[in-house]
Amino acid sequence: MIRIVAASKKPTWIALGIALVLQTGLISFQARHRIDTSFVRVWILDSLAPLEKLVDRSTYAALYVWERYFALVGTHDENERLRHQVEELRMQLHQNREDMLELQRLRSMLSLSSSDTGKTVVARVIGRDPARSQTITIDKGTVQGVRPDSAVITPAGVVGRVIYSSNFFSIVQLIIDSQSAVGVLLQSTRRQGVVRGTGGLSLDLDYIDDDNDLKQGDTFLSSGLDRIYPKGLPVGVITSVGPRRGLLKMVQVRPSADLGRLEEVICILEHPQNADSDEPAQGSANP
């Protein structure tokens, strides 16, 4: 009886061993950069992302129908005909507003695209990180020219950078990710520094030449020294300047772009190197 139990447990240990060796091997290869494992990610991303897009669109459609129709049933039962008229007009009005907002967004994106940010492509956000790091999935990939380290922005400010690209989809690391950093300069005094993600909703100032004249409300722009983000894009606004800890004051920065409500973003495919590009990179972000 003991033998039977022991024999029946053998496949479990074999399966566990194989699974652990496979996963550890993947991690090890990435750590040592011996073998390029990105094909695994590309393959799975290309397989799953279309489904993600489908679910995203279906959810959007279902929410749209729910919010614009079912949620209104029963609220105006006094006058059936009038209620239908009101609903139709409301839907039409709402649709027009949505169109107008979309038009405004696209116009601002077009004006930004035609400025000195270089070659760009507009992408739609289709998913957010199913694990707990701060990333989003967009519907543009290498076929559209998006590559790892492409900067991702909105007209409001810097969003993040592409860390993985498959053929038609890419994963973007947001600037609030704890492993992300952006080279910045203070708009008012032009002092250069680095802001780092906290993994929460804000950024922390990691380094600056001189922090004596920092005050709440000051704006940080991208310095371009990290060679990822073009110079001069809004990165964030100082929300609090705390007491000194070590060499620097504790400074919290709110991202300029609303990272919680991203719908469309702009990927910068190529951007002209700024005049300071021969300086060493200070705030290059790492995945």
In whole angstroms, give the CA distance from residue 82 to residue 33. Answer: 67
Tell me if 56 contacts other proteins by CB under 8 A: yes
Binder to other proteins among 109, 112, 123, 127 (CB under 8 A)? 127
Q: How far is the CB of 158 from other proteins (least distance, A)?
A: 17
Binder to other proteins among 89, 200, 209, 213 (CB under 8 A)? 200
The tokens describing 239, both together, are: 């929300």
Tell me if 51 contacts other proteins by CB under 8 A: yes
In whole angstroms, give the CA distance from residue 234 to residue 252. Answer: 15
H helices within 136-235, ranges in order?
none
Q: How far is the CB of 150 from other proteins (least distance, A)?
A: 14
Pick from 165, 275, 184, 270: nearest CA to 226: 184
Tell me if 137 contacts other proteins by CB under 8 A: yes
Range in contact with other proteins (rule: CB under 8 A) among 17-25, 90-98, 151-159, 236-244? 17-25
Instruction: Read off φ and ψ for residue 263, nearest 5 degrees.
Output: -120, -55
User: Token match 């922005």: residue?
Assistant: 153
Tell me if 239 contacts other proteins by CB under 8 A: no
Q: Which is nearer to other proteins, 81 or 245 (CB)?
A: 245
Pick from 5, 62, 38: nearest CA to 164: 38
The tokens describing 32, both together, are: 């040592």
Binder to other proteins among 191, 196, 231, 271 (CB under 8 A)? 196
Half-sphere CA count of 164, side-chain side, radius 13 A: 19
Binder to other proteins among 112, 123, 139, 177 (CB under 8 A)? 177
Q: Which helix (H) or strand (E) holds 10?
A: helix 2-32
Range in contact with other proteins (rule: CB under 8 A) among 55-63, 95-103, 182-190, 266-274? 55-63
Contact 232, 80 (CB under 8 A): no
Q: Residue 82: CB partners within 8 Å, gap ≥ 6?
A: 76
Range in contact with other proteins (rule: CB under 8 A) among 50-58, 104-112, 214-222, 265-273? 50-58
Give me the residues that bind other proteins (CB under 8 A), please: 11-12, 15-16, 19-20, 22-27, 30-31, 37, 40-41, 44-45, 48-49, 51-52, 55-56, 59, 63, 125-137, 163-164, 171, 173, 177-179, 196-200, 204, 260, 286-287
